[in-house]
Amino acid sequence: MTRSSLTTPPPGAAAPAPPPGAPLPGAALGSHYGHCFGCGTEHPTGLHLTARTPDGATVEAEFTVGEAHQGAPKLAHGGVLAAAMDEVIGMSVYLFHKPYVTGRLETDYLLPVPVGTTLHLRAWCNGISGRKAYLEAEGRIGAPDGPVAVRAAALFIEVSMEHFAEHGDLAAIAAEHQDFEVNP
Ligand SMILES: CCCCCCCCCCCC(=O)SCCNC(=O)CCNC(=O)[C@H](O)C(C)(C)COP(=O)(O)OP(=O)(O)OC[C@H]1O[C@@H](n2cnc3c(N)ncnc32)[C@H](O)[C@@H]1OP(=O)(O)O
């Protein structure tokens, strides 16, 4: 993965163990919001990622490229592929049971991805330092051990729940997502 210093964990940064109450190894990870473009089941043209954590620390997911995701004819749009990386990385940092948002996302595109392809995604954390989480993901064509089409490195920043209240609709998230205390 080609990455900048901004998405490279500083020396000593390590991923913490998932906290008590985090999804157990093998657990399916539901959507955090029905209208989310990445994972929402109610989004008409979204990515509809289905995800699980095989080990409680990383995330695996699948995304089948549809007609609504084209850039060039019959090929996935690069921005859509970046969105898939952003989503699966977001799911992986969410295993730590704290709210984070994407600060920076770097993407390497290695192969074209035709419409109809199922991308097998995997994301993991390389380290956390203060509010900064350093994460990585890859998307493989057709199978978990298929050829790598996309790689991404990201810096996510921990925020308070007020971030969503101030800038978005916290109540809408809270209505679907009960494992965060909205008013602790
Ligand atoms: C119920 C749950 C729902 C969970 C919902 C889950 C949704 C998952 C969806 C997928 C994820 C997304 O797409 S999230 C949506 C896309 N992202 C966003 O909308 C974020 C927009 N940006 C922001 O709101 C802000 O810029 C923040 C929160 C990222 C940072 O603002 P801040 O809180 O004021 O903090 P700030 O002091 O600026 O930065 C803290 C540290 O991070 C560094 N930093 C900040 N941004 C960057 C950056 N782009 N590149 C490098 N470094 C950065 C700073 O230098 C600083 O380092 P130092 O000085 O400490 O060393």
Query: How much is the pLDDT for 85?
Result: 98
Q: Which of 138, 151, 109, 153 is nearest to 9 (CA)?
A: 153
169 — pLDDT class (breaks 50, 70, 90): confident
Select from 157, 163, 177, 182 the residue to mutate for testing ligand 1; criterion: most ligand atoms less than 8 Å from CB: 157
Q: Kindly state the average pLDDT of the residues 52-65.
A: 96
Query: How much is the pLDDT for 182?
Result: 41
Select from 101, 135, 156, 161 the residue to mutate for testing ligand 1; criterion: most ligand atoms less than 8 Å from CB: 101
Please tell me the distance between residue 159's alpha carbon and the centre of ligand 1 in angstroms. Answer: 7
Sorted by sequence, the CB contacts under 8 Å of residue 144 that are 6+ apart come out as 60, 120, 122
Q: Where are the domains of the chain?
A: 25-175
In this structure, the strands spanning 118-129 and 100-109 are unpaired
Question: Does the structural domain 25-175 have CATH classification 3.10.129.10?
Answer: yes
179 — pLDDT class (breaks 50, 70, 90): low
ipTM of this predicted structure: 0.95
- Window from 32-36, 122-126, 174-178 with minimum mean pLDDT: 174-178
